[in-house]
């Protein structure tokens, strides 16, 4: 499901009403961004699996190592140390289950 | 930098010209999605750090555990087993460096 996680029930962790309102607003934006991230990741996964199939269907390899390395490096440049881990998840999703 | 990773130099892993063209097209879309993912993740990180500051500045806690659990569950529902790992990266980025 695509509903935001419990937007009205999670405590904000502050008793200050002004901060509370501001935090609720920030959270709404984070929820929107999470939806955006999830949609893009799912679309990326579909396409990446299609690439693997197209490549194997034409007698090629399922993975192209240089391309994966370039993506990992790009994510490191953009996000720092967490970047390669995020890239690795995207690459694993794109491979899908074997068998 | 925001350039796509080596779009013209990576081998496609196939010798078939039709598949090669199709794979190049797919890759261009993956590169666009990666830009979208990176931009959303960076924006999310900024906002999440602002939330932590606002909360601490008003005498609250830096993290709200129930909210983090809800996000992790949402990512699992949407992406399966890789979901919680992706959520954990986003949550770590949002905490930023201590000190």
| Structural domain contains residue A10 | no
Residue A20 CA: distances (Å) to CA of A46, A51, B7, B28, B97: 39, 46, 46, 42, 24
Residues 26-45 in A contacting B (C-alpha not used; CB under 8 Å) = 26-27, 29-30, 33-34, 36-38, 40-44
The Cα–Cα gap between B11 and B31 comes to 15
Nearest CA in chain A to B44: A30
Q: Is residue A78 part of a domain?
A: yes
CATH for A60: 1.20.59.10
Q: Is residue A35 part of a domain?
A: yes
Question: Is some CB atom of chain A closer than 8 A to the CB atom of B93?
Answer: yes
Whether chain B has a CB inside 8 Å of the CB on A88: the answer is no
Domain of residue B40, residue span: 25-95
User: What is the value of ipTM here, to two decimals?
Assistant: 0.83
Number of folded domains that form chain B: 1
A43 falls within a domain? yes
Q: What is the pLDDT of residues B16-34, one digit of tens each?
A: 766 788 889 999 999 999 9
Contact B40 A40 (CB under 8 A): yes
Q: Which position has the higher pLDDT, B8 or B82?
A: B82
pLDDT tens figures, B43-65:
999 999 988 888 888 887 777 88
Q: Are B33 and A40 in contact (CB under 8 A)?
A: yes
- Looking at the domain assignment, is residue A90 inside a domain? yes
Whether B33 is in a domain gets the answer: yes
B42 found inside a domain? yes
Which residues make Cβ contacts (< 8 Å) with residue B59, sequence separation at least 6?
A14, A15, A16
In a domain, B79, yes or no: yes
Binning chain A into helix, strand and coil, the percentages to the nearest 5 are: 70, 0, 30
Q: In percent, how much of chain A has pLDDT > 70?
A: 84
Angle at B57 between CA B56 and CA B58, to 5 degrees: 90
Angle at A64 between CA A94 and CA B11, to 5 degrees: 130
């Amino acid at each position: 499901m695509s509903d935001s996680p419990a937007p009205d029930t999670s405590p904000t962790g502050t008793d200050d009403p002004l901060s509370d309102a501001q935090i609720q607003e920030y959270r709404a934006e984070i929820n929107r961004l999470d939806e955006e991230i999830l949609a893009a990741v799912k679309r990326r996964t579909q396409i990446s699996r299609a690439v693997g199939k197209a490549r194997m269907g034409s007698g090629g390899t399922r993975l192209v190592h240089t391309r994966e390395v370039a993506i990992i490096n790009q994510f490191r440049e953009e996000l720092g140390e967490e970047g390669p881990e995020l890239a690795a998840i995207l690459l694993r999703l794109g491979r899908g289950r074997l068998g």
